[in-house]
DNA sequence: ATTTGAGAGTACAAAAAATAGACTCACTCG
DNA sequence: CGAGTGAGTCTATTTTTTGTACTCTCAAAT
């Protein structure tokens, strides 16, 4: 199975992976969420080749996660901006950041500061149940499409 | 930059990607969360080569996300089980599933059923702010380590 | 006792993708 | 005019990924 075959898969996780299932893609998205929008800035922060940045940005634009916005016409120049789809990936990224901070802590790194615009405070993302509002603990979820699950 | 260099990176997202930043790895994790635990079962569900399954399982065990548990001694056979680290990735996977259902819907697929053991109901995962308890809308987060952010 | 089959891999070579680093192109600024 | 900048593209090399076939250990069936 190749990359592009994944997106027709029955599983929504697989279809999401078809879009963001690559480390560079995820790191580009991370930078977008932090306000980076230009080619050379991505290159400078990522530490990977320009070819790779070019390829990933093009894929993300094609997938509708990013869009380009011209800021200068003559040598055509544009910013890469998140679409609604892209902003909605922010939650996934936040949880990934939290996992990394918890299980792969790094000495000398101050925890990442996130501020919730609605209340103005630095916060951590918490996953709660839409029905009872309580946090969803790891291991407290059962899936209906298979035998009793461990997740 | 190569795979294994990522895990020493300063960014917690990058360190997480060093562990789960590969489509097959994520799909294996997804299956683990749904209760799959044996080599051939992963092979059957994934549609990728046995080599790939073998490699990814070994990486996950080495990373401490999965562990093996013998269920038979003589031809040594074991289950692959999630560790606490692995179960904690469940949140990331749930949000990825939700993104896929929202933005890459597929006709004829019933939405994935998840049940919250604590309250017994089918639910959707919601990301809330640890400080005010309100949902964190896409685009309502500011990051402190860069200029004003779009995320 | 021999054959068949399951489970869990390995080995190996072919094919595909990713990478670094240099190069290009179209301007703009001094 | 020459240097600089932003955004790529080209190419050859390296790495990964993949498929297929093979191995190994045992249990069950014949």
Domains of chain A: 3-103 (1.10.10.10)
Distance in Å from C25's C1' to A53's CA comes to: 19
Q: Is B51 on the interface with A (CB under 8 A)?
A: no
pLDDT band at B77 (very low <50, low <70, confident <90, very high): confident
> What is the rounded average pLDDT of the residues A17-29?
90
Q: Is B142 on the interface with A (CB under 8 A)?
A: yes
Higher model confidence: residue B107 or residue B135?
Answer: B135
| pLDDT for position A149 | 37
| pLDDT for position B44 | 87
DSSP category for residue B112: P
CB of A51 nearer than 7 A to strand D: yes
pLDDT digits (tens, 9 = 90+) for B11-59: 899 899 989 988 889 999 999 999 999 999 998 888 888 899 999 999 9
CB A66 within 8 A of CB A83: yes
Q: Which A residues between 60 and 79 have a beta carbon under 7 A from any strand D atom? A: 75, 77-79
Alpha-carbon distances, residue B113 vs A69, A141, B16, B42, B127 (angstroms)? 39, 10, 26, 21, 18
pLDDT band at A83 (very low <50, low <70, confident <90, very high): very high
Q: Which A residues between 19 and 48 have a beta carbon under 7 A from any strand D atom? A: 38-41
């Amino acid at each position: 199975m190749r990359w592009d075959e994944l997106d027709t898969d029955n599983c929504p996780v697989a279809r999401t992976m078809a879009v963001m299932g690559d480390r560079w893609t995820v790191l580009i998205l991370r930078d977008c969420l932090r306000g980076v929008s230009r080619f050379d800035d991505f290159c400078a922060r990522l530490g990977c080749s320009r070819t790779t940045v070019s390829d990933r940005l093009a894929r993300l634009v094609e997938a509708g996660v990013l869009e380009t916005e011209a800021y200068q016409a003559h040598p055509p120049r544009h910013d890469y901006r998140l679409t609604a789809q892209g902003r909605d990936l922010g939650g996934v990224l936040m949880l990934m950041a939290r996992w990394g901070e918890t299980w792969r802590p790094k000495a000398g790194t101050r925890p990442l500061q996130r501020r919730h615009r609605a209340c103005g405070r630095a916060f951590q993302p918490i996953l709660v149940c839409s029905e009872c509002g309580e946090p969803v603990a790891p291991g407290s979820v059962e899936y209906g499409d298979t035998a009793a699950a461990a997740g």
